[in-house]
Structure 1
């Protein structure tokens, strides 16, 4: 198992030493930096999974470090730790992208719990790709009809205050779409706060969501605002909402209805104005019918909804996605790869991509680790890609424009997959769509594009 690496940023040598010992005893690998500038230099080399930073430091303070990391290193969670903690400071830190906020003096167990939460959420919810600009600052990659429909839907729903539900397979970009909605909305200058419900231990749920007063939670010596409070005026994204315990679902519904939140141990309520976006990989209606999810909360969240399309159903976008990841890992790994060979692209297009865009990102990263030239070739691809079925109509016209080659290859592969599924299901479109992992409507659209008649 790979040891996760934490960068501790503090101008006090004694605090760097104390934190290093604490984290190393907990099994983490630790590096240190005395200010934000040195931390940024180290972060550019890669390999850091979490940053713990003080706020007040010379040269570059913690808030400046957060601001510098947000656009360039968004995948690395940051915990802010300071003796000058107030709710206002916490909100400012969250606006700049901090995962969490703790105040000195703190309990060792509390900090370790926060580290565990931050790393768990980072593993569960790595950001998907960003390119091909929508109207927001977030950019969504792809020229397919599915990607264009998503961009148009975001532009419409972002202007509404309504709760929103994002469904679809893991790795299709729930977090990215949630942020795009926020940044296209009138709330874009307010905080965007996210929680991955599946990464939160049951005992921490209420404190994480609603906050707590000093002493209300074992090990807590100071008050702590919950995520709802930190998102006041902005957007709270609840990914894997299906993992939320039933009793917490009821409490969240009360917040939606009343617009007020009560911290654990508090005697009064606090008014909050939060736009909720929920994400799930499962069928929530089935969960409601099986008694695993509250029907009233489902109806409250399912005001606007969108099913994110699996990568195998929009292969037209794959070359642009792959190109983006090549550029990303050129920077991160110090490579100078300029492209992907037609043979390797043929194999990528033939793969089923059960892990969607997240799997493609992992495949490109692994390929570039072994790249020894300017072109990614078949030999650089991982075994599960090389071992897959190659398309019946491989790419051979290498002198043509790359985009036209890819377009033809994509259409060929999609046609073969659809014809195979239709033959297997005896031309039953509903059954074929289920076998392909796409909706009936998406399959009908593809069949029309590819000139395949619907005989059922």
Structure 2
């Protein structure tokens, strides 16, 4: 058996490129795949057997393994078992030929990242490689540079968030009012704090108030303050949040839920730059920058008469829109690992990360609650985990999805039809005519079915040259 050979000089493998170990005993396939991965910017090491692959694995420590299922000696499934036993979080992609599909499906259930059938689609393979490497991201985000401390709490690698943060950094230098738009849980308050830290007001207070969480009767007093005796429980003078934020920044969160009567008073404060505490006849000057946030469609609220147009334009000098978590899926693995690291310290646990299949489940979830929901899910699995590596079952439990895969009717029919055809071809030793007769279909129609499922009869011929018995043709 030829020894494993690196496709790049060893010195090249010390660079910053992501490393992939490719295992296949077909020299032509190995060469083609190596060339394609090298061209895509990856550092590639190759091996022609499972034994050679394990030696290369320990020497190079790749970030991803791609292996054919059929290898001389120990097969790709055995190689996967060995890798999984030593490094549970290592993603493995299997390449399979027809006839090994059931094994590959079983392997996927056991933790293989994915499998592709030869001949594979090059674009699909590159997409799967990107996904696997993203899921194998480090457990924590890189430390921010010195000039990025203002956004240290915001963990992201997505281009959309990078553009948003660039706009936020720019607008932070001015005193313009900013409206932050986005679904609940997308991190509007985190972005508001980042804007404050990047602004000239960073040395002064940052104060946030949720306008929907305070009863209408108390919200005016909370915002503007009150004097002693202004109402029954006003036993002393009270400074409002505008005064508490003097010289700094005030975030009016969920501004879309502010009662109409209070909207009028807020508009007056913004125009006059002064607040009048409840029960007082005197106004007090305030110097506060206003940021506001909402998940509501304020233009629709204005059209319905629920939000004042003049207040809207006073607050909405600059608009920043936060994407939902589903719109920045490349950040899910990074965020999950970052949160796990943070929460592990909180719970005093030694956790090494998520299993590949657990990260796949996180990456595929819909996330209606966005980053806030992700935090809750990670906190739950952190609290309940009894092993260093978070398993798929805990993530499924936290996401409230069934542990058993539920197929749609169309998917179930497709799967049954394919398995039925595979069974017929195995039974008839790859004889399509006999298989068509057993299925009670004419040969042309049967070949169409085989083509639909990418099945080649020749791949099912018995290796010993003998043919199994075929049931006699049935006549109705």
Give the TM-score normalised by the residue count of structure 1: 0.56
Instruction: Give the match for residue 296 of structure 1.
Output: 310
Equivalent-residue separation in structure 2 for 1:376 and 1:390 (angstroms): 23
CA–CA distance in structure 1, aligned partners of residues 142 and 212 of structure 2: 28
Matched-pair contact (CA < 8 Å) for 2:141–2:334: no
Query: Structure 2: which 5+ runs fail to align?
Result: 1-139, 409-476
Q: What is the match of residue 368 of structure 1? A: 382
Partners of 1:131 and 1:166 lie apart in 2 by 26
Q: Is the 8 A contact 1:132 1:142 kept in 2?
A: no
Contact 2:240 2:277 in 1 (8 A): yes
In the TM superposition, residue 390 of structure 1 has moved relative to its aligned partner by 9.1
**TM-score normalised by structure 2 residue count:** 0.53
Residue-by-residue CA offset, 1:405-431 (whole Å, 9 max, x unaligned): xxxxxxxxxxxxxxxxxxxxxxxxxxx
User: 2:225 maps to which residue?
Assistant: 211
Over aligned residue pairs, what C-alpha RMSD do you find? 2.1
- Corresponding residue for residue 319 of structure 2: 305
Partner residue of 2:155? Answer: 141
The whole-number CA distance in structure 1 between the counterparts of 2:142 and 2:236 is 41
What do residues 150-206 of structure 1 show as CA deviations (whole Å, max 9, x unaligned)? 210111010110111001100000110010000100000111011001100011011
Where does residue 269 of structure 1 map in the other structure?
283
The residue matched to 1:225 in structure 2 has which SS? coil
TM-aligned CA distance change 1:186 to 1:391, over 3 Å:
farther
Match of residue 234 from structure 2: 220
How far apart are 1:370 and its partner, in Å?
Answer: 1.8
Distance between the aligned counterparts of 2:406 and 2:160, measured in 1?
A: 25
How far has the Cα of 1:369 moved from its partner?
A: 1.8
SS for the counterpart of 1:364 is: helix
Q: 1:229 aligns with which of 217, 220, 243?
A: 243
**DSSP 3-state at the match of 2:212:** helix
Q: CA deviation at 1:333?
A: 1.2
For the pair 1:387 / 2:402, whether they are aligned, the reply is yes
Match of 1:339 in 2: 353
Q: Distance in 2 between matches of 1:205 and 1:211?
A: 9
Measured in 1, the distance between the counterparts of 2:376 and 2:143 equals 21
Q: Residues 224 and 240 of structure 2 are in contact (CA less than 8 Å); yes or no, is this contact kept in structure 1? A: yes
Q: Distance in 1 between matches of 2:252 and 2:141?
A: 20
In 2, Cα distance between the equivalents of 1:186 and 1:306? 19
Question: For residues 386 and 378 of structure 1, what CA distance do their matches in structure 2 show?
Answer: 11
Partners in 2 of 1:200 and 1:130 — Cα distance?
36
C-alpha separation in 2, matches of 1:217 and 1:376: 54
Task: Extract structure 1 runs of 4+ deviating beyond 6 A.
Answer: 129-132, 388-392
Alignment partners' CA distance in 1, 2:141 and 2:224: 31
Residues in 2 aligned to 1:168 and 1:193: alpha-carbon distance in whole angstroms: 20
Q: How much does 1:387 deviate?
A: 2.9
* 2:268 matched residue in structure 1: 254
Moved more, 279-288 or 131-140: 131-140
Look up the SS of the partner of 1:314 in the other structure: helix
Mapping of residues 17-32 of structure 1, within 5 Å: none
Aligned partner (choices 265, 280, 286) of residue 300 of structure 2: 286
* Partner Cα separation in structure 1 for residue 314 and residue 239 of structure 2: 24
Superposed CA deviations along residues 8-66 of structure 1, whole A, max 9, x for unmatched, are xxxxxxxxxxxxxxxxxxxxxxxxxxxxxxxxxxxxxxxxxxxxxxxxxxxxxxxxxxx
1:378 to 392, 401, 411: 392
Gaps of 5+ in 1: 1-128, 393-456
Instruction: State yes or no: 1:179 paired with 2:193.
Output: yes
Instruction: Give the deviation of 1:253 after TM superposition.
Output: 0.6
Whole-angstrom CA distance in 2 between matches of 1:317 and 1:189: 31
Residue by residue over 1:94-141, the C-alpha shift from the partner in whole angstroms, topping out at 9 and shown as x without a partner, is xxxxxxxxxxxxxxxxxxxxxxxxxxxxxxxxxxx9986435164311
CA contact (8 A) 1:363 1:382 kept: no
Q: Which has the higher contact order (CA 8 A, sep 6+)?
A: 2
For 1:197 and 1:246, the matched residues in 2 are separated by 12
SS at match of 2:150: coil
How far apart, in 1, do the equivalents of 2:316 and 2:329 lie? 28
The 3 A distance-change label for structure 1 pair 297 and 303 is: same
Q: 1:350-361 maps to which residues of 2 (within 5 A)?
A: 350-361=364-375
Contact kept, 8 Å, 2:251 with 2:292, in 1: the verdict is: yes
Q: How far off its partner does 1:236 sit?
A: 0.4
